[in-house]
Amino acid sequence: MSAVATDLQRVVEDAAAHLYVWALKDIPQDLRDALADARERETSVPGRRVLDTIVRNVQVADDEGNLVCQDTGIAVYTCHVGERFPLHPARIYEALRDGTERATLEHPLRSNAVHTITRENTGPNTGYRLPIVHWEFVPDWDGLDVKCVPKGSGSENMSFLKMCVPADGVKGIKQFVLESIVGAGGKPCPPGIVGVGIGGSADYAMYLAKEAITRPIGTRNPDPVVAQLEDELFELLNETGIGPMGLGGDVTVLQCHVEHADTHMTLNPVAVNYQCWAARRATAHVAADGTVDFDREA
Amino acid sequence: MAVHEVTFPITDEAEILKLRAGDEVVVQGHVIGIRDRTQIRIFDQGQEPPMDLRGAFLLHTAPGVRKLDDGRYEKVCIGTTTSARMVRFTEPLGERYGVRAICGKGGFPDEAIEPMRRYGMVYFAIVGGAAALETTQIEEIEEVAWEELMPECLWKFRVKDFGPLTVGIDAHGNSLYHDVQTAAQEKLKELFARL
C-alpha cells in the first residue's frame, strides 16, 4: 500500500474507535427531542415513569461520561464510499474492525461477540464477519462517510420477516408490521424506531429494514408513496397501546421508517427491524486528504 | 398506584404480598445478578449456586466491569437484559431457592403468573437501556461467583435507591403484560378492520 493509503487506514481506524464509544455515550439531538416529546404526550402512569427515567438516564450518561445502555451491541457500520476515495473497501473494513477492537479494549467496553454454535467469546466485539458493514458506493466523489450504529440484542431479537404475496398488498404489509410490534411487547425497549424494509428479496428486505433504523428520527423516504406508508404506520403503531417498555400507554414507537427496493412481480417481502429507544448512532465524514469531521446528527 | 420501598433479601412475606401490579417500588439492600448461562448451569447442569438466594431479588444482567489488581471488580456500566428468555426458571427459583423477586426488562409471558402466585414472588420491570442511571444506584460489587462465565457470572451488588421499578407481575395473579397484550390484541382487530 502507498503511504497515503496506510495513513488513511489509520485515520479510518481512529475514527471507528472514536465513533463506537461516542455513539454509546452521547445520543443524537433528534433522539433526545423525540424522547422529550414522547414524555409530554404520554398519559399512562407507568409510561410516564418509564419516560421520566429514560430522560434522567440520558442526563446521567452525559454527567458521568458513562454509556447510555450497557449493551454495547454488535458494531454495525454503514459506509458511503466515493468512487475516488483513496482507500479500498477491503482496507476500510480492516480499519473498522481494528477500531472496534481498540475501542473495546481501551475503554473497556463489554465484549458481546461469540461463536454462534459454541457460544465462546471470539474477540473484543469482533469475530468472523463481525463487525457488520453495509456498503453504498457513490460516483463522482472522493470522500467516505462512516456511520456507527451499535445494535443492542434486545431490539435485534425482535426482527421479523414475512414473504407476503402480491394479493396481500399494502394492507398485508401494515398488518404484519402491527402484529410484529404488538407481539414484541416490551422486549425491544419501546418506544423506539421501527425499521421496515419492503421489496427486493428476503435478505435484502431485512437489510433495508436495518438501513431504515439508522436514519435520523422522523426523516421521510423521498418516494412520496413510501413516505405516506411511514406516516400511516407511525399513527397505527401508536394506537396499539403497548406503551413505554410494554407497560401500556400512548407512545409505543418514536418513529417508523420504511426503505424499499423494487421487486419481482410475484414477491412482496416485508421485514421489520426494531431499534430501541437508545437509538445510538454517530458519523464520521472522512475526506480524501484524511481530514475527519465528526457528526452526531447524520 | 402505591409507592413502596423494599429492602432485600426480604424476611417477611408480607413485604411481597403488599405489592400490586402497577405499583412503583424503590429497592434497598442487596441484588443478585444472574443471566441465561448462570441459570442454565444451575438448572440444566445441576450445579448448586454458591450464594444464598433465599428471599433474594434477582436482576437479569451481564454487567460491564473492570477487574482491579486485587481481584475485585469495579463497575463500568451495569444494565438489564430481556427477561422473557429466562421465564422457564421462574418456578424452580421460587420452589427450590426461595427467590422472591425477579427484575428485568420487557416482562415475563403468562407462564410466570402461576408460579409467582404460588411461591409469593413478584416481577419488577426496570427501564431497559437506562444503564447509566442504574450504575449510579449500585454502590458496590460485593461478590462474584463463577467468573468463568464472564460476564454471565453470579453477582452480588449492594444497591441504594434502586429504581424506580414498576411491579409488572404481582404475587396475586395480576400481570400488566397480560392486560396490555389482551387489550392490544383487541385493538388490532379494530385496526385491521380499518385498513
DSSP H/E element including A202: helix A202-213
Q: Average pLDDT in the A118-126 region?
A: 92
A247 within domain boundaries: yes
Do A125 and A251 reside in the same domain of the chain? no
Measured between its terminal Cα atoms, the distance across chain B in Å is 36
Measure the CA–CA gap between B31 and B9, rounded to whole angstroms. 8
Contacts of A157 in chain B (CB under 8 A): 82
C-beta of residue A147 within 8 angstroms of C-beta of residue A281: yes
Q: Do A69 and B183 touch (CB under 8 A)?
A: no
Residue in chain B nearest A61 by alpha carbon: B132
A38 within domain boundaries: no
Statement: residue A6 has pLDDT above 90: no
Residue in chain A nearest B134 by alpha carbon: A57
Q: What are the two backbone dihedrals, phi and then psi, of residue B158, each rounded to the nearest 5 degrees?
A: -100, 130
**Domain with A162 in it:** 154-275
Q: Average pLDDT in the A266-287 region?
A: 97
Do A141 and A264 reside in the same domain of the chain? no
A20 within domain boundaries: yes
Task: Tell the residue number behind the cell numbers 400512548, with chain if given.
Answer: A250
Statement: residue A5 has pLDDT above 90: no
CA distances from A122 to A103, A110, A128, B67 (A): 16, 13, 8, 20
* Cis amide linkage into residue A86, ω under 30° from 0: no
Do A264 and A215 reside in the same domain of the chain? yes
Question: Touching check for B84 and chain A: CB below 8 Å?
Answer: yes
Do A16 and A141 reside in the same domain of the chain? yes
Do A159 and A108 reside in the same domain of the chain? no
Do A9 and A134 reside in the same domain of the chain? yes
Helix A89-106 to helix A3-25 angle (10° resolution) is 50
| Residue among B81, B125, B151 nearest A153 (CA) | B81
A297 pLDDT band, cuts 50/70/90, is confident
A51 within domain boundaries: no
Q: Do A179 and B188 touch (CB under 8 A)?
A: yes
CA distances from A13 to A20, A26, A94, A174, B30 (A): 11, 20, 8, 41, 42
Q: Which residue has the higher pLDDT, A28 or A1?
A: A28
Helix A29-41 to helix A45-64 angle (10° resolution) is 150
A125 within domain boundaries: yes
Per-chain mean pLDDT for chain A = 96
Do A252 and A224 reside in the same domain of the chain? yes
Do A262 and A284 reside in the same domain of the chain? no
**pLDDT tens digit sequence for A151-205:** 999 999 999 999 999 999 999 999 999 999 999 999 999 999 999 999 999 999 9
Per-residue pLDDT 10s for chain B (195 aa) are 789 999 999 999 999 999 999 999 999 999 999 999 999 999 999 999 999 999 999 999 989 898 999 999 999 999 999 999 999 999 999 999 999 999 999 999 999 999 999 999 999 999 999 999 999 999 999 999 999 998 899 999 999 999 999 999 999 999 999 999 999 999 999 999 999
Q: What are the two backbone dihedrals, phi and then psi, of residue A7, each rounded to the nearest 5 degrees?
A: -65, -40
**pLDDT tens digit sequence for A94-113:** 999 999 999 999 988 888 99
Q: Do A45 and B1 touch (CB under 8 A)?
A: yes
Contacts of A182 in chain B (CB under 8 A): 181, 184-185, 188
CATH number of the structural domain spanning residue A17: 3.30.360
A54 within domain boundaries: no
Statement: residue A1 has pLDDT above 80: no
Buried b (16+ CB within 10 A) or exposed e, A84-118: ebbbeeebbbebbbbbbbbbbeebebbbbbeeeee
Measure the CA–CA gap between A142 and A221, rounded to whole angstroms. 26
pLDDT the model gives residue A2: 73
A31 within domain boundaries: no
Do A176 and A258 reside in the same domain of the chain? yes
The domains of chain B, with CATH numbers, are 3-194 (3.20.130.10)
Task: Tell the residue number behind the cell numbers 475485585, with chain if given.
Answer: B72
C-beta of residue A9 within 8 angstroms of C-beta of residue A94: yes
Do A221 and A79 reside in the same domain of the chain? no
Strand B154-169 to strand B138-145: parallel, antiparallel, or no bridges (unpaired)?
antiparallel
A32 within domain boundaries: no
The one-letter amino acid at B142: E
**pLDDT tens digit sequence for A57-100:** 999 999 999 999 999 999 999 999 999 999 999 999 999 999 99
Closest by Cβ to B129, choosing from A45, A56, A69: A69
Do A11 and A136 reside in the same domain of the chain? yes
Grid cell for residue B193: 378492520
* Domain count for chain A: 2
Q: Do A154 and B106 touch (CB under 8 A)?
A: yes
Do A196 and A257 reside in the same domain of the chain? yes
Measure the CA–CA gap between B40 and A2, rounded to whole angstroms. 52
